[in-house]
Amino acid sequence: MLAVDSLSLTNRLNGITAQFRAGEVTAICGPNGAGKSTLLACLAGLLNADAGQVMLDGSALAALPAQQRARAIGYLPQSPEVAWDVSVETLVSLGRLPWKDAPAPDAQAAIDAAIAAMDLDAFRHRRVSRLSGGERARALMARVLATAPAWLLADEPLANLDLAHAAALVARLRQQADEGKGVVLVLHDLATAMNHADRVLVLNRGELAADGPPEQALSEAVIARVWDVEARWLGDEGARALATGSHALSGN
C-alpha cells in the first residue's frame, strides 16, 4: 500500500492524508494549480515534503534506497521527453535501469512483456521520432512497465492523445490494475476519471477536497464547489459525459 500522512509542502500541499490500494485505478483530479502533479511527484519519491511523509508498505519512502524505490514505483512525468532518437526497444529497456544486477534473460523477458502489454510488437525497432503520438505514449508507458513496478504513477498520460488512443491506453492501464498493480493517474478529463477510475481524489488549492468512489468524489456538488462550474453528468454509470454551461443548467 502507498499512503500519505498529513503531507505538506509550502504553498503547494496542505496536510494531505490518503491511501492508495493495489489493484485499483486511482485518479487525482483538481483545477490547475491544485497540487496534483506535486502530490504525484511526492508519491514517486521525487519531492520531499516539509511535513508528513509517504509510506510504502509500512516504511517511509524517503528512507528507502533510490534503487529499491525505483523498482517499486514507476513514474511517467507530464509531457515526457525522449532526448535521443532511440528505437522503441531501447527506450523500453531504459526501464530496466533500476535492475542493473538482474540477469539478462529476466531483463529481456520484462522488456518483451512490456512491449506486448502496450501492443508495440510491430514497432519494436522503429525510432521514437517515427512514432505517432499514440504509439509514442504507449512506448513511454511500456518503459515504465519494463521496470515491473508494483505501482504505476502517471502524470496526465492521456494529454495530447486522441479519443481512440486515450481509450486504448486507459484499457491497458485498467488491465495492469486488474493484474494487481496500483495505478495512480493525474487526470484532467473528469469524464475519464468518472468512467474508468475505482477511486478519485479531488485536490483544491493544495487541500484534499474529496476522496472516494467517482460518483461521490466527482459529484455535481463537488464540481461546483471545487471548479466553480455548474455541470451535470449525463448518461449511465460507466459511460458518463459531463455537460457544462447553459445546457447543463437548463437541464436539457
Q: Which residues bind other proteins (CB under 8 A)?
A: 41, 44-46, 66-67, 69-71, 73-77, 80-87, 90-91, 94-95, 97-98, 100, 140, 143, 147
Pick the closer one to other proteins by CB: 155 or 177.
Answer: 155
- We find the least distance from the C-beta atom of residue 154 to other proteins, in angstroms, to be 11
Residue 202 vs residues 16, 19, 166, 174, 212: alpha-carbon distances, Å: 11, 13, 21, 20, 9
CB 183 within 8 A of CB 228: no
Pick the closer one to other proteins by CB: 41 or 169.
Answer: 41
CB atoms within 10 A of CB 65: 8
Pick the closer one to other proteins by CB: 37 or 204.
Answer: 37
Pairwise CA distance, residues 12 & 25, whole Å? 24
- We find the least distance from the C-beta atom of residue 150 to other proteins, in angstroms, to be 14
C-alpha cell belonging to residue 250:
437548463
Pick the closer one to other proteins by CB: 148 or 226.
Answer: 148
Pick the closer one to other proteins by CB: 127 or 172.
Answer: 127
Residue 180 vs residues 22, 23, 42: alpha-carbon distances, Å: 6, 4, 22
Pairwise CA distance, residues 232 & 219, whole Å? 9
Burial class (CB in 10 A: 0-12, 13-18, 19+), 174: middle
Pick the closer one to other proteins by CB: 65 or 105.
Answer: 65
C-alpha cell belonging to residue 236:
449511465
- We find the least distance from the C-beta atom of residue 75 to other proteins, in angstroms, to be 4
Residues 6+ apart with CB under 8 A from 63: none
- We find the least distance from the C-beta atom of residue 209 to other proteins, in angstroms, to be 26
Residue 41 vs residues 29, 212, 216: alpha-carbon distances, Å: 14, 21, 25
Return the bridge partners of 152, or none.
74, 183
- We find the least distance from the C-beta atom of residue 201 to other proteins, in angstroms, to be 20
- We find the least distance from the C-beta atom of residue 248 to other proteins, in angstroms, to be 37
